[in-house]
Structures are given as C-alpha cells and as structure tokens.
C-alpha cells in the first residue's frame, strides 16, 4: 500500500469563493525561508497563475532586492523588481499574486501594521489583480502556522485550509 502523499495545499475563502493552491514543494520552500535568518521576519513576493477567475496557483516566491526586516517587522520594496516580473511573465506567463512574510516568534494572525500594509498594497496602482494574496507564516509552539488573507473594501478575509 502506498503512503498517503500530500501533493498540494488548498485554501478556500468561502465568502468570496476564492481558492489558493500551493504545491507541496513550493510550500516547503516558503517554510524553509520563513525561519532562516537569526529570528528576523522573512518575506517576499508570490508569483503564479490563475487557473480560472477564482483559483490562484502559487508557483514560487521571489525575494525583494531591497528589504528592511527586524524580529518584529518586514518591509519589502518594489524597486528594481519590474525587469524580473517582465521576464517571469515572458518565460512562463507567471504574474504577481501577492506577498508573504513570517512571524518567527508569533502566530500567523495579522498585526495592525500588517493590515495597513495589506490595504496599501491592495490600493497600489501597480497591483492590477483583484484579490492580492497575503500569506503569513507564524509559529505556534514549534509548528509553523500557515494563514492566507485577501482584502476587499478594506475588509480582510481569511482563508481556511481544506
Ligand atoms: Zn506581520
């Protein structure tokens, strides 16, 4: 008999009817990056594709060229990233899907600052997609906690793991 093998994570936002699919390999990559550097928050951009109007598939992460991170904050800058996005789109049709960051010593709930950042990103002219994805990797005891959020009319919606 074959062992049960998880191929992908699926998260669902029932009110907005949205689904996020993350291949296991990609999620593991994010988790490896989340807690890597002496307790500082890590993060970056999520890229991938839409399967249909409601389902986004994350195909990878990109580190920002410029960032400012501490043990309790993560700020990424978009400077210098456009060439990368252009190349990614040209090569595989991948687009910007959102952002991720870690809370190495806290839960995956969003802080007030996170909420304001999400609203800012959502409202940024450069963000063309309707529901940018925000992923926070927290820690509960010794286990990673994975939470996805999106935003509409300044209200934050969280996804449930399926
Ligand atoms: Zn945060």
Alpha carbon of 4 to ligand 1 centroid (Å)? 33
Average pLDDT of adjacent 10-residue blocks, the chain of 162 residues: 72 98 96 87 96 95 93 91 95 97 95 94 90 95 93 95 91
Alpha carbon of 116 to ligand 1 centroid (Å)? 10
Q: Is the dihedral of CA 69, 101, 138, 28 positive or negative?
A: negative
Q: What secondary structure letter does DSSP report for 35?
A: T
As a three-state string, the secondary structure of 61-124 is EECCCCEEECCCCEEECCCCCHHHHHHHHHHHCCEEEEEEEECCCCCCCCCHHHHHHHHHHHHC
Q: Answer whether residue 20 is part of any domain.
A: no
Domain count of the chain?
1
Alpha carbon of 125 to ligand 1 centroid (Å)? 22
Question: What is the CA 69 to chain-centroid distance, rounded?
Answer: 16
Q: Answer whether residue 73 is part of any domain.
A: yes
**pTM of the shown model:** 0.93
> What CATH number is given to the structural domain containing 127?
3.40.140.10
Alpha carbon of 122 to ligand 1 centroid (Å)? 16
Alpha carbon of 74 to ligand 1 centroid (Å)? 7
Q: Answer whether residue 40 is part of any domain.
A: yes
Name the token pair of 63: 């580190």
Q: Answer whether residue 19 is part of any domain.
A: no
Q: Answer whether residue 23 is part of any domain.
A: no
Contact predicate 18/131, CB 8 Å = yes
Q: Answer whether residue 89 is part of any domain.
A: yes
Which pLDDT does position 4 carry in this prediction? Answer: 59
Q: Answer whether residue 1 is part of any domain.
A: no
Alpha carbon of 107 to ligand 1 centroid (Å)? 9
Which residues form the domain of 45? 28-161
């Amino acid at each position: 008999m074959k062992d049960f093998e998880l191929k992908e994570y699926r998260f669902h936002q029932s009110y907005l009817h949205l689904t996020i699919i993350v291949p296991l390999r990609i999620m593991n990559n994010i988790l490896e990056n989340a807690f890597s550097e002496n307790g500082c928050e890590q993060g970056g951009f999520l890229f991938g594709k839409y399967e249909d109007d409601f389902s986004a598939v994350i195909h990878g992460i990109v580190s920002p060229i410029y960032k400012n991170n501490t043990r309790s904050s993560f700020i990424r800058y978009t400077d210098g990233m456009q060439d990368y996005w252009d190349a990614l789109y040209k090569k595989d049709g991948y687009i910007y899907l959102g952002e991720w960051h870690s809370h190495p010593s806290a839960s995956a709930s969003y802080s007030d600052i996170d909420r304001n950042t999400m609203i800012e990103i959502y409202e940024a002219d450069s963000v063309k997609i309707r529901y940018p994805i925000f992923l926070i990797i927290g820690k509960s005891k010794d286990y990673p906690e994975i939470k996805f959020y999106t935003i509409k009319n300044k209200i934050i919606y969280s996804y449930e793991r399926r």
